Structure 1
């Protein structure tokens, strides 16, 4: 299924080491609220709903087979068995776009778990009471003209990626880029010294 193929062309400004992310050691002075949002293993869509008091709506950009792997995709995607599909979405609360996300899936797993493509991944997985483990693998900052335009904000933009495990194997790899508009709910992302 292809709705509208797009690639926001992320340019990574810096990336934290995997070790620092796994140990919860932010390489920058993140505020406690942003540390939880970016490095915590909870559901970001649930967090957005709790922060804004509004339902999270998914605007599907596209979902299509990934035939040529992007050099920018997280290296953990190699742990998935092909054929692969890549899904891209905007996450909104009301009129405000608060996140862009992309995920990579084995095609059969996507068919089994993503029956409604306009629903957040977490909501889809919770319907079936799927037991999952989430491991945050990457944290950094990016710039992207396409994301800046949609967020109506300038870079740098916070970015993270993680894996969902089901039964000890990787189910999906997800990358998220957060809108600076979240500072209205979480405060500044950096601590003041």
Structure 2
């Protein structure tokens, strides 16, 4: 059953882009002088980010669910791909953090409300782990990459911006299952190397 809180969170933490790229750039990647290869594997690769974060940190990655809001037919100021997710919709917001409490990423996802319980049976598991337990065949279709600012994420990560993020669709059985928007903490430079952006 869908968890309903007494108050609906009206907003989610979208980056204010300094720079952004679309699907074509996602396919070819960025110059290594702009974004090191390890960062590109995390941002532009089609593997599980929670799996990558666990391998990088050698810690279990936990999910802190901060929002499960029914948004109906609202487009929620989300990427245009939200139109591919049938309505009424549910928005889920989480922090991904290590077992020791270090917040590494933020994610918002949008689901068809009538099907979310089918795929997220345990709300505290990462999406990929939940779907893997169901043996759900998926295709991660990355649509956009962003470098931008967010005061809310600076507070959440306890790191100064700007931040790298992306959005993608999960496809299942030829249909879009969920839209996901992720932003990563600069703390990951410890593992992935420093980056710079040319405005």
TM-score (norm 1): 0.92
1:24 maps to which of 21, 24, 28: 28
Q: Secondary structure at 2:132's aligned position in 1? A: helix
User: Any gaps of 5 or more consecutive residues in structure 2?
Assistant: none
Q: Secondary structure at the match of 1:108?
A: coil
Q: 2:131 aligns with which of 125, 128, 149?
A: 125
Q: Does 1:87 align with 2:98?
A: no
Q: Give CA deviations for 1:20-77 in whole Å, capped at 9, x if unaligned.
A: 11x2322772101001000000000000011101111000001111133223x11111
TM-score relative to the length of structure 2: 0.89
Structure 1: runs of 5+ lacking an equivalent = none
SS across alignment from 1:158: strand
Are the aligned partners of 2:75 and 2:83 in contact in 1 as well (CA < 8 Å)?
Answer: no
The residue number in structure 1 matching 2:173 is 167
Counterparts of 1:25-174 in structure 2 under 5 Å?
25-26=29-30, 29-67=34-72, 68-71=74-77, 73-93=78-98, 94-174=100-180
1:61-120 CA distance string (max 9 Å, x none): 01111133223x111110111111000000001210000000000112211100111110
> Would the aligned equivalents of 2:12 and 2:108 in 1 still touch at CA under 8 Å?
no
1:130-178 deviation digits (Å, cap 9, x = unpaired): 1111111110112111110111111110010111100111001100000
| Whole-angstrom CA distance in 2 between matches of 1:106 and 1:173 | 10
Shift of 1:185: 1.2
The 4+ residue runs of structure 1 with deviation greater than 6 A are none
